[in-house]
Structure 1
Amino acid sequence: MSGEMIGLVGTGILLVLLMFRIPVAFVMFLVGFVGIWILNGWNAAMGLLASETFTLASNSELVIIPLFILMGNVATQTGMSRQLYDAAYAMIGQVRGGLASATVIGCGGFAALSGSSVASALTMGKVSLKEMDRYEYDPRLSTGVVAAGGTLGILIPPSTGFVIYAILTEQSIGRLFLAGVLPGLLLLTAFVLTITLLCWIKPSLGPAGPKTSMAEKRKSILGALPILTVILLTIGGIYGGFFSPTEAAGVGAGLVILYGLAIGKLDFASFWAAAKDSIVTTATVMLILIAAHMINPFLALSHIPDVVGNFLAALDAGVIGTLLIILFVYMVLGCFLEGFAMLVLTLPIFFPVIMQLGIDPIWFGVLVVLTLEMGLISPPVGINVFIVKSVAPNVDLGQIFRGVLPFWGAMLVTLGILIAFPQISLILPNTMFN
């Protein structure tokens, strides 16, 4: 059996095992290890398992993952996420759909702390769904907003998705973080416009909330200042060159912890809960990354990237045509696979093609991460939809999926804008580094 055929069989086995919901990391370990054993011998497989695990685990850049996760978890424990939502609600809650728009803005702000879509959806769901129920929002809009708004966590920096993309493709984490700022704000704006349009067409979807006085607005904005300050210091510090992304993560986590202690809302029990959750999440991400470094050599030895590259070249679709084909594949895979799994499985195949075509890898990273976001609310997997279902058990799953459809469309429009105008993604990183 040829190397290409072994690679295709291994990839097929991997996809089948994933469909049976076997954990991603274990599937990639198994297929990668056995594949290298068959192609290059037992010693090569064992040597790679030992060396790659140590090399990746000792990568100092990966410290950024637990630090930013800890920052988001501590912010949740100290109520900072609630302060974000309250500030947004005080400003726009009195208009039709205002509570939904405030939820999206809150998700965007919390995303800039946690870097996690699941955490954003879960936290803002707990904060906002009861409020929207109280003012008789249509459950399709309220749950759809939370599921879609949570996806901002993987695009607005700091983003775990960008960190994994950077590690797998050897790109700059700082450049990727900055590249996600304007697209993240563009997507947030698209979500707010979608809510406004839906409530204009059918006002009963999102009734207006109660008006707030200027004093209440000032109080809410002042309450959100600490979290906004942390966001500006971490992202602004990276942009200004004051510290690296890893140092920014340390500064952000430290400031959030000090703030929690200062206001008396962070005791040992709450800090332990935040730290424990951060350790579990980090261990999951690390396992996936280590497993990726087993599957990637197997794909390279079986020449699967070359086969895919030759196939795409034979289509003669041009640079943009090939890019659209790759993004379409990501959209289809997003209906069945978890986002990180897609990254580690597909980047070794598609990234060489992207570089050969001369496509900017930072721009491509933004497009890929946005496409992964779409998978978070795409049926049948749509992990954010199931997260919202856990917070709103009385809402039918079908209603939540119908609720996210307009926002999925907004994401598709945003993706089209970013493809048509690459400078939206590249202007900040190019300004910083050039």
Structure 2
Amino acid sequence: MIIVLTILLLLALFAFGVPVGFSLAISGCFGLIMTNGFDSILFYVGKIAHTSVANFTLTTVPMFILMAEFASKGKLANQLFTVANRFLGYLPGGMAIATVMASAGFGAMCGTSSAAAATMSSIAVPEMFKIGYKPRIATGIVAVAGTLAIMIPPSVPLVVYGVTTEMSIGKLLIAGIIPGIITAGVYSLGIICWTKLSSGVMPTSVRYAWKERIESLKGLAPFIILVLAVIGGMYSGVATPTEIAALGALFTLIICLLMRSINLQEIVQAIEKTVLTTTMIYTILVGAMIFGYYLTTSQVAQKSIAFVDALGIPGWGVMAIVCVLYLIMGCFMDTIAILLITLPLTFPLVTSLGYDGLWFGIIVVKLCEIGLCTPPVGLNIYVTSGTTGVPLEEVFKGVGVMLAFEAVTLLILLAFPSIVTFLPSLMKS
């Protein structure tokens, strides 16, 4: 009965617009008081608030966010889009495919979906308008393609997943590489099929001469340097993810300074945005840890596992229910909040059924990707609409077909877990 009242209180706080972190903390404290008495929170709440963020591994989060802000302010995505468009623009729906590939490349320097969506909205959408793309098609493609940033490393949600579940952050980030590539590939193939089946829906951009294509390749130098530094460093095991994140932020800043694409004011703005975003994430984390501690003391996870065992539902059935749960929550909540609220319950449940924790992490992030583009919240939709000026309803209409391609990728990853676990199994540590 107490757990029901606690969850109802949590939902009520959400409904009244109380910030997620405070909603979790208040409902968690209520549950602890009802279960163990008022004295229980005097010691535990202060202790949890400190220990949940006094974690050296968590410094990975602000470093990756800072790296993303430097990359965004330094306009590193512009060169990626230019290269992709010159090589792929001649294909059916070529500029849309170029947008997908540029988003994937920027994701390797970014790690946050909203930053990727905002950046590509300002770069790709005006160019797509110039050659005749409909506003809903152009913005829908950019909004969905922006989700690649939370799958391809560095990925802030995967770092949060690793910290929450105490799994290897390095292996989680590497596990996202192949799924990210497959996602970009399915998007691209889907766009080609979409263009073939619906004549005129996506115009073909200019075919560039090989000389122009080759000349554009020099714009890939920053991307190559950062990918080698971040992904190469993690895969080889020469540095920890925390060290790699710090080096990535430093290298991004140096590259932007050498290119003279960032000034002092933009550096200060990037730092301020990093502080604000990190504070938001840490606040949610503290609240989630308090709520999670209540779930642990009341043995909700253990009781849920026993309940599922008693029902006799097969593993795939439980996994299907979990997937539906994440899809529904993705319609209303932020990715980080979803992870921190649900993982204390879903992670032990899924792993008790024999599923790999790395694979589950990628599946959860993939489900959160879909949530970033679904109504009524759909963070990427709001970011894209705000950046381009295209009405929200038009952007929502434009993501429908792209989400169908996303569903295809999800089914592939669900059917073939080795796609996720292959690269991490080859790592030295």
TM-score, structure 1 length as denominator?
0.95
Q: How far apart are the structure 2 equivalents of 1:77 and 1:167?
A: 28
Q: How far apart are the structure 2 equivalents of 1:217 and 1:21?
A: 50
Contact 1:137–1:204 under 8 Å retained in 2? no
Match of 2:319 among 315, 320, 323: 323
Secondary structure in structure 1 of the residue aligned to 2:427: helix
Q: How far apart are the structure 2 equivalents of 1:263 and 1:147?
A: 28
Q: Which residue of 1 aligns with 2:178?
A: 182
Contact 1:19–1:336 under 8 Å retained in 2? no
CA drift at 1:116: 0.4
| Paired AA for residue 315 in structure 1 | L
Secondary structure in structure 2 of the residue aligned to 1:57: coil
Q: How far apart are the structure 2 equivalents of 1:124 and 1:387?
A: 11
Q: How far apart are the structure 2 equivalents of 1:17 and 1:193?
A: 43
Q: How far apart are the structure 2 equivalents of 1:327 and 1:56?
A: 27
Deviations 1:364-410 (A, max 9, x none): 111111011111111122111111111232x3323222211112111
Residue 357 in structure 1 maps to residue 362 in structure 2? no
Q: How far apart are the structure 1 equivalents of 2:242 and 2:213?
A: 35
Match of 2:404 among 409, 413, 417: 409
Deviations 1:124-178 (A, max 9, x none): 1111111111111022221111110111111111111111111111111001001
Q: Which residue of 2 aligns with 1:63?
A: 59
Q: How far apart are the structure 1 equivalents of 2:428 and 2:313?
A: 32
| Paired AA for residue 92 in structure 1 | L
Match of 1:428 among 420, 423, 426: 423
Q: Which residue of 2 aligns with 1:419?
A: 414
Q: Which residue of 1 aligns with 2:146?
A: 150
CA drift at 1:17: 2.1
TM-score, structure 2 length as denominator?
0.96
Residue 245 in structure 1 maps to residue 232 in structure 2? no
| Paired AA for residue 269 in structure 2 | A
The 1:154/1:21 distance shift into structure 2, 3 A limit, reads: farther
Q: How far apart are the structure 1 equivalents of 2:97 and 2:16?
A: 37
* RMSD value, Cα: 1.5
Q: Which residue of 1 aligns with 2:391?
A: 396
Q: How far apart are the structure 2 equivalents of 1:217 and 1:315?
A: 60
The structure 1 segments of at least 4 consecutive aligned residues displaced by more than 6 Å after TM superposition are none
Q: How does 1:69-218 map to 2 (within 5 A)?
A: 69-218=65-214
| Paired AA for residue 200 in structure 1 | K
Q: Which residue of 2 aligns with 1:387?
A: 383
Q: How far apart are the structure 1 equivalents of 2:115 and 2:311?
A: 40
Contact 2:53–2:285 under 8 Å retained in 1? no
Secondary structure in structure 2 of the residue aligned to 1:432: coil
Residue 293 in structure 1 maps to residue 284 in structure 2? no
Match of 2:274 among 254, 275, 278: 278
Deviations 1:246-278 (A, max 9, x none): 111122111111112222233211111111111
CA drift at 1:413: 1.3
Identical aligned residues as a percent? 34
Q: Structure 2 regions of 5+ residues with no counterpart?
A: none
The 1:209/1:161 distance shift into structure 2, 3 A limit, reads: same
| Paired AA for residue 45 in structure 1 | I
| Paired AA for residue 169 in structure 1 | T
CA drift at 1:423: 0.6
Q: How far apart are the structure 2 equivalents of 1:315 and 1:228?
A: 51
Contact 1:7–1:298 under 8 Å retained in 2? no
Q: Structure 1 regions of 5+ residues with no counterpart?
A: none
CA drift at 1:300: 2.1
| Paired AA for residue 424 in structure 1 | I
| Paired AA for residue 51 in structure 1 | K
Q: Which residue of 2 aligns with 1:11?
A: 7
Contact 2:72–2:115 under 8 Å retained in 1? no
Contact 2:107–2:149 under 8 Å retained in 1? yes
Contact 1:53–1:290 under 8 Å retained in 2? yes
Contact 2:330–2:374 under 8 Å retained in 1? yes
Residue 303 in structure 1 maps to residue 303 in structure 2? no
Contact 1:25–1:291 under 8 Å retained in 2? yes
Q: Which residue of 2 aligns with 1:254?
A: 250
* Worse-matched range after superposition: 83-92 or 297-306: 297-306
Q: Which residue of 2 aligns with 1:28?
A: 24
Contact 2:236–2:428 under 8 Å retained in 1? no
Q: How far apart are the structure 1 equivalents of 2:407 and 2:12?
A: 28
Deviations 1:286-316 (A, max 9, x none): 1111111100011223333234323322332
CA drift at 1:433: 4.1
The 1:57/1:71 distance shift into structure 2, 3 A limit, reads: same
Q: How far apart are the structure 1 equivalents of 2:306 and 2:283?
A: 31
Secondary structure in structure 1 of the residue aligned to 2:154: coil
